[in-house]
Amino acid sequence: MSLFNVYPLFDITPVRAKDVYVFDEKGIKYLDLYGGHAVISIGHSHPEYVTSINEQISKLGFYSNSIKNPLQVELAEKLVKLSNCKDYQLFLCNSGAEANENALKLASFHINKKKIIAFKNSFHGRTSAAVAATDNPKIVAPLNAQHEVEFIKLGDLVSVEKALKQNDVCAVIVEVIQGIGGLDERTTEFYQGLSKLCKKYNSLLIVDEVQSGFGRTGDFFAFQKHNIEPDIISMAKGMGNGFPIGGILIHPTIKASFGLLGTTFGGNHLACAASLAVLKVIENENLLQNAKDISTYFIEKSQSLSKAKAIKGRGLMLGLEFDFNISELRKKLIFEHHIFTGSAKNPNLLRILPPLTLQKHHVDLFFEALQKEL
């Protein structure tokens, strides 16, 4: 049997990893400035994480959501403490797409309408409503295209208000910093305006923090810089440091009822153990501050690169924009300098999404390699 061939692959086979380094089968060591696509938050194989998962699997790896699971409660409490999202309720699932799917579904149940407003260049995942709210027709099948979605330019509050006035919108979904779309972010005025409009026209504001959450920007969530209170916050990637887990934080004004949402695997004991370890390490190692400090250092270093047109993003969700397609540069960084980086929809943008444990000397290695290639 062969694999369903949907991924263009780099010819590298990682077999182990530690902190910010990945090692392949030939023993070559790669600096991981990609974090497996913004997933590795506390560093690969962190001892706290390994112990937490090992201890949990030896006790109880899984049981259904029809029994009590105190680890879910502990995770909710710890999340509130670290994120400062007081009184929000937690629903756990397994991935970013699922988190957004549940967020949109919940909004539709709550508001009892079905249209969604999303933004140009958005990415929200590949399940039915999530992919319909993703601005990439190539990955939207006719089945998904049945959802009613209007795409508006990020920043255009006038068009948002015009659409909301039709009174058929259940939710506005937004990545505060767009990930794959190219790290665009708008002003605080825009996000606050969006929040006000949602309230005025009785729609829910969903912020997709799947990529930007869990400390990646140096704040626990990217929206917090803009001082808004979203109705639903979706999370995944950094939440499990590689263990599949996602979730939504739900504003206290939205009430639960039995059967409204559900999942077999979501919030299982092992996933909770993984995410609890992530939160513990973020707190103990002060990784939010580290993300901010290393980001500042990275941005300073980037000023010396005359060929870089712009630096985009925040914290350790960064991008260097050039005036040429970066695909060859990215290959050179991988195969000649052994440094993983990411790409974006914008072909000129090199993305940096490393573990939040990154240090200054790792940044130096990257810029030395870049100077040689430019």
Ligand X SMILES: Cc1ncc(COP(=O)(O)O)c(C=O)c1O
Chain residues binding ligand X by CB under 6 A are 95-97, 100, 123-125, 175, 179-180, 208, 210-211, 236
Q: Which residue is nearest to ligand X (CB)?
A: 96
Spatial distance between the Cα atoms of 48 and 318, rounded to a whole number of angstroms:
27
User: Shortest approach of ligand X to residue 266 CB, angstroms?
Assistant: 13
What's the gap between Cα 34 and its chain centre?
13
User: Shortest approach of ligand X to residue 240 CB, angstroms?
Assistant: 10
Beta strands in the chain (DSSP E): 14-18, 21-24, 29-32, 89-93, 115-119, 149-152, 169-174, 204-208, 232-235, 246-250, 310-314, 317-321, 339-340, 349-352
Question: Which positions ≥6 away from 90 have C-beta within 8 Å?
Answer: 72, 75, 76, 79, 247, 248, 249, 250
User: Shortest approach of ligand X to residue 162 CB, angstroms?
Assistant: 25
Considering the complex, state which of residue 178 and residue 357 has its C-beta at the smaller distance from ligand X: 178
Whether the CB-CB separation of 279 and 286 falls below 8 Å is answered with no
Considering the complex, state which of residue 52 and residue 212 has its C-beta at the smaller distance from ligand X: 212
User: Shortest approach of ligand X to residue 369 CB, angstroms?
Assistant: 25
Q: What is the identity of the amino acid at 24?
A: D
Q: State the sign of the Cα–Cα–Cα–Cα dihedral 353, 356, 362, 364.
A: positive
- Paired tokens of 286: 């002060």
User: Shortest approach of ligand X to residue 263 CB, angstroms?
Assistant: 14
Considering the complex, state which of residue 125 and residue 193 has its C-beta at the smaller distance from ligand X: 125
Spatial distance between the Cα atoms of 25 and 191, rounded to a whole number of angstroms:
46
User: Shortest approach of ligand X to residue 184 CB, angstroms?
Assistant: 12
Considering the complex, state which of residue 97 and residue 249 has its C-beta at the smaller distance from ligand X: 97
What 3-state DSSP class applies to 342? strand
Q: Which residue has the tokens 């007081």?
A: 86
Considering the complex, state which of residue 107 and residue 370 has its C-beta at the smaller distance from ligand X: 107
Considering the complex, state which of residue 69 and residue 100 has its C-beta at the smaller distance from ligand X: 100
Spatial distance between the Cα atoms of 289 and 280, rounded to a whole number of angstroms:
15
Considering the complex, state which of residue 211 and residue 348 has its C-beta at the smaller distance from ligand X: 211
User: Shortest approach of ligand X to residue 244 CB, angstroms?
Assistant: 8
